[in-house]
Structure 1
Amino acid sequence: MEKEDTVQPHDFWQELHPADTYDIRKSHTDFYPAILSDGRQLRLPIRPLSDGEHALASLIVNQASFAVQDALAVQLAEKLGPFKPDVIVGLPTLGLTLASAVARAMGHSRYVPLGTSKKFWYRADLSVPMSSITTPDQTKRLYIDPRMLPLVENRRVVLIDDVISSGTSIAAGLSLLAIAGIEPVAIGAAMLQSRRWVEQLTALGRHWPDRTVGVFSTPILSKSPDGGWNAGSEPRK
């Protein structure tokens, strides 16, 4: 296995590298080099899963440098352009950082944030349960501020999260918007993490995978004989 650059934990997500700086086909130790829409590469830390045989590449967008955040937002805005959105809706927590930046990149004056913190004027009938792959043991409720409804009603809405992995957070967002009578024209994310989300979204509608776009995709990584990680198959359920 070819030796990789050493990256300190606080240095991840801070720099974009020229195309082909790293070979994604090789075994990796500390990071996986994701490829953006324009060919540039972003080093993502590798997080081993509990089975010890598989791992995921991780992105925490609000810890990324402003240059990386801006690049992700601009590229996602370009991919969402053909859907002609009128308003961007962001999922908490990290999806809010990306959604705000995408809305700016598309020339919008504001965006609509969903939330998990209940304000006294929120309505229980405008909320749904929500959990995520990073906090599987914490079920919260996802809310839309009733005052924001006029901004999304009869508009072309795009729902954004930072990462789509299992699809549970996006599914909650779609369910909440459906309660409000809203069906987004598209779903956007910086990273599509593996393909596990496809089944979850297909259960809500066969059209959703085709309406979901990301700046880059990352695979499930499998343990290699040399002790590193290679792009491999999904772990068995």
Structure 2
Amino acid sequence: MSMPPRLAPHAFWQRLDEPGTYPSAPDTLYHDAYPASLPDGRQLLLPLRKLPGSGGGALASLIINQASFEVEDALADIMAQQWCAEAPDVVVGVPTLGLPLANAVARRLGHQRLVPLGTSRKFWYTDALSHPMRSVTSPDSGKTIYLDPRMVPLLQGRKVLVVDDVVSTGSSLAAVLALLKKIEITPLGISVAMEQGTRWRSVIEQSERVRGAIRSPLLEAAGRGYVTSPEQQEAP
């Protein structure tokens, strides 16, 4: 089986398709897109990006601030539903693309505000509340993640839910957890719009506390397209 649609670059992330619109069996040959499935079966078509230095590997990309409001709302609805029963007290948003989702999830959980982390240092920030971080989409641009000292009282003694857009290698979220550990915070859980492959499971402590609205596997080259990498099958 092979994937038929070829969309213009700006056309991705703009609509949700009905269940079964696109094939997603293990033997499917993907060309330029991968259909991720929401819990209700609806599909979101994601563009494929060839990984640098991967020898032909690729991943499915989600850039949430380029998505339609319909798609963003649908993902945020699922993320909030996945955690509402555990009643988080406060949401921590991971920059950059995790922040709009954190806002949306916090609102759906009935919160009046969230605690945003930052990668731009303000003069009142401190080294003690910072940690270096990298991401799969920006491997050569090392950043530092900061927690505003004024936000610490909002987190201590409370049930904290961390919200980000995508978990892939796990390095960014591992940095966030290391930062929160400096103020003796162990989050209730981590909510992401997409789980990308499974590499992150060996990097993030208590990886079972990570919940994604959708999942996508890592892919490897096969002929003129891509197939799901055997060692990166979607987790059940």
Give the equivalent residue in structure 2 for 1:67: 70
Stretch deviating more after TM superposition (43-52 or 65-74): 43-52
Q: In structure 2, what is the Cα distance between the partners aligned to 1:96 and 1:197?
A: 20
Q: In structure 1, what is the Cα distance between the partners aligned to 2:84 and 2:19?
A: 24
CA 1:139/1:12 → structure 2, altered by over 3 Å: closer, same or farther? same
Cα displacement string for residues 72-131 of structure 1 (whole angstroms, at most 9, x for unaligned residues) = 000010111233201110111111111111111111111111001111111111111111
DSSP 3-state at the match of 2:95 = coil
Shift of residue 52 of structure 1? Answer: 3.8
Q: In structure 2, what is the Cα distance between the partners aligned to 1:88 and 1:224?
A: 41
Alignment of 1:56-205 (within 5 A): 56-201=59-204, 205=205
Stretch deviating more after TM superposition (46-55 or 210-219): 46-55
- Which residue, out of 222, 230, 234, partners 1:233? 230
- Which residue, out of 29, 32, 43, partners 2:31? 29
Q: Identity across aligned pairs (percent)?
A: 49
Shift of residue 3 of structure 1? Answer: 5.6
Give the equivalent residue in structure 2 for 1:14: 14
Cα displacement string for residues 123-181 of structure 1 (whole angstroms, at most 9, x for unaligned residues) = 11111111111111111111011111111111100111100000001001101111012
- Which residue, out of 210, 216, 219, partners 1:218? 216
Shift of residue 53 of structure 1? Answer: 2.6
Q: In structure 1, what is the Cα distance between the partners aligned to 2:137 and 2:168?
A: 10
Structure 2: segments with no counterpart, 5+ residues:
none
TM-score by length of 2: 0.93
TM-score by length of 1: 0.93
DSSP 3-state at the match of 1:16 = coil
8 Å contact kept, 1:73–1:101: yes
Q: In structure 2, what is the Cα distance between the partners aligned to 1:233 and 1:126?
A: 40
Q: In structure 1, what is the Cα distance between the partners aligned to 2:19 and 2:215?
A: 15
Structure 1: segments with no counterpart, 5+ residues:
none
Aligned partner letter, 1:31? A
DSSP 3-state at the match of 2:203 = helix
Cα displacement string for residues 30-74 of structure 1 (whole angstroms, at most 9, x for unaligned residues) = 100000122110000001123343210000011111110000000
Give the equivalent residue in structure 2 for 1:209: 207
Alignment partner of 1:48 is 2:50: yes
DSSP 3-state at the match of 2:151 = helix
DSSP 3-state at the match of 1:172 = helix
Give the equivalent residue in structure 2 for 1:38: 40
DSSP 3-state at the match of 1:138 = strand
Q: Between Structure 1 and Structure 2, how many residues are aligned?
A: 229
Provide the alpha-carbon RMSD of the alignment: 1.3
8 Å contact kept, 1:83–1:186: no
CA 1:7/1:124 → structure 2, altered by over 3 Å: closer, same or farther? same
8 Å contact kept, 2:3–2:29: no
DSSP 3-state at the match of 1:110 = coil
Q: In structure 1, what is the Cα distance between the partners aligned to 2:8 and 2:129?
A: 43
Aligned partner letter, 1:185? L
